[in-house]
């Protein structure tokens, strides 16, 4: 199974973005409104970073909880891990674990195509495992007697 299949199963393929010169409180409002944990940071049509809920918490700690004057570009991940739609799910999971991130932008040769969360990966792996278990139980149940 690959990342493309996760993207296809998501109920929304909307990519929410914000500029690096916007204020953190604007980003938090957008993330809250759309019930999401990350925003792709875009500048001149290119991804320049990723703002996650973890970035916001880290930024609050660093700035003494000042949401009104802190810019997105000051607290975003400026070099986020990026996956490709054809990457296997295990590779995406490994990359997210290695980079300590819960969100992974997905891009192909034409640019950004989506974003997946660790939740999306876990849900897909669980569904796949449940399906395999069902097949194995059916196989064992119908095992020929010796």
Q: What is the pLDDT of residues 108-145, one digit of tens each?
A: 999 999 999 998 888 887 777 766 777 777 777 777 77
In degrees, to the nearest 5, what angle opens at C-alpha 134 toward C-alphas 117 and 143? 150
The residues with which 17 forms a beta bridge, in sequence order, are 40
Question: Among 2-11, 25-34, 137-146, which stretch is predicted with the lowest mean pLDDT?
Answer: 137-146
Pick the CATH number of 3-141 from 3.90.1170.10, 3.10.580.10, 3.40.1390.10, 3.30.365.10: 3.10.580.10
User: What percent of the chain is helix, strand and coil (3-state, nearest 5)?
Assistant: 45, 25, 30
Whole-number Å distance between alpha carbons of 55 and 53: 5
Q: Which residues face 42 on adjacent strands?
A: 47
Mean pLDDT within 70-91: 94
Q: Which pTM does this prediction carry?
A: 0.81
State the sign of the Cα–Cα–Cα–Cα dihedral 54, 14, 41, 60.
Answer: negative
Q: What pLDDT, on a 0 to 100 scale, did the predictor assign at position 146?
A: 61
Distance CA(15)–CA(109), nearest Å, equals 17
Average pLDDT of the residues of the chain: 89
Q: Which residues contact 58 (CB under 8 A, 6 or more apart)?
A: 75
Region 18-31 average pLDDT? 96
Quick check: 105 pLDDT over 80? yes
Task: Please report the pLDDT score of residue 51 as a whole number.
Answer: 97
Determine the 3-state secondary structure of 27 from DSSP.
helix
The residue with greater pLDDT, 105 or 12, is: 105
pLDDT of residue 144: 72
Q: What percent of the chain has pLDDT over 90?
A: 64
Q: What is the arithmetic mean of pLDDT over 47-65?
A: 87
Contact yes or no for 43/94 (Cβ under 8 A): no
Higher pLDDT, 129 or 86: 86
Write the DSSP assignment of 56-112 as a string of letters: HHHHHHHHTS-TTT-BHHHHSBSS---B-TTSBHHHHHHHHHHTT-SEEEEEETTEE
């Amino acid at each position: 199974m690959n990342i493309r299949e996760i993207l296809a199963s998501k109920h929304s393929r909307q990519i929410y973005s914000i500029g690096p010169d916007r204020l953190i409180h604007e980003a938090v409002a957008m993330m809250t409104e759309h019930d999401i944990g990350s925003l792709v940071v875009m500048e001149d049509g290119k991804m320049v970073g990723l703002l996650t809920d973890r970035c916001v918490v880290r930024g609050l700690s660093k700035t003494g909880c000042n949401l009104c004057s802190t810019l997105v570009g000051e607290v975003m991940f400026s070099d986020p891990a990026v996956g490709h739609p054809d990457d296997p799910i295990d590779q995406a999971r490994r990359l997210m674990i290695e980079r300590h991130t819960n969100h992974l932008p997905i891009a192909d040769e034409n640019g950004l195509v989506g974003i997946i969360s660790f939740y999306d990966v876990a849900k897909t792996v669980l569904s796949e495992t449940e399906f395999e278990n069902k097949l194995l139980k059916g196989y064992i149940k119908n095992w020929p007697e010796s």
